[in-house]
Amino acid sequence: MSRTMQIDVRLVPVYDRGRFDELYPGCAALLRDVGKKSLLEKAPTLYHLVEELARTSRDPNVSSLWKKVLQKHVPELVRCRDEAREAFLARELRQLDRLLYRLEDLFQDLDKDLRWEVPSGKA
């Protein structure tokens, strides 16, 4: 590594603050309802949210309505995130880009089901 320079490859969110709520209102409602509103203020990437959703799906204090939907979607989200991690670590950027698009599609499917199963946003 250079003494004065470094390579920085990282994932950053590109939606503006509050934009996550607009793009994924069901996911935002879930995070608010389970006491994780602070995550919305930080605007994490979808990649980073996968782990939080996996934890939430296992939390005994989370409503069964939320868990039912999460348990349906979390395995595929985790699988896609893990593949993206491998591509990221291997610096396979074309593959990583494809997987990040797939992760967005999976989040849209999750969000749709969350809004269908818990239309009030409160479970």
Look at residue 43 and tell me if it is in a domain.
yes
In-domain check, residue 4 = no
| Cα–Cα distance for residue pair 24/14, rounded to 1 Å | 14
pLDDT band (50, 70, 90) for residue 18: low
Residue 89's identity, in one-letter code, is L
Rounded Cα distance between 43 and 15, Å, is 8
Provide the whole-model pTM. Answer: 0.88
Between 22 and 83, where is the model more confident? 83
Length of the chain: 123
Residue 27 lies in a domain: yes
- What local confidence, expressed as pLDDT, does residue 20 receive? 85
3-state secondary structure at position 93 = helix
Q: Domain for residue 6, yes or no?
A: no
Are 96 and 88 spatial neighbours (Cβ–Cβ below 8 Å)? yes
Range of the domain at 80: 19-117
User: Is 68 part of a structural domain of the chain?
Assistant: yes
Asked if residue 114 has pLDDT above 90, the reply is: yes
94 lies in some domain: yes
**pLDDT single digits (tens) 80-98:** 999 999 999 999 999 999 9
Please give the mean pLDDT across all residues of the chain: 90
- Give the 3-state secondary structure of residue 69: helix
Please report whether residue 88 resides in a domain.
yes
- Kindly give, in sequence order, each residue whose CB lies less than 8 Å from that of residue 2, ignoring residues fewer than 6 positions away: none
The predicted pLDDT at position 17 comes to: 57
Residues 6+ apart with CB under 8 A from 21: 28, 40
pLDDT tens digits along 44-59 = 899 999 999 999 999 9
Give the whole-angstrom CA distance, residue 83 versus residue 58: 22
Residue 14 in domain: no
Domain count, the chain: 1
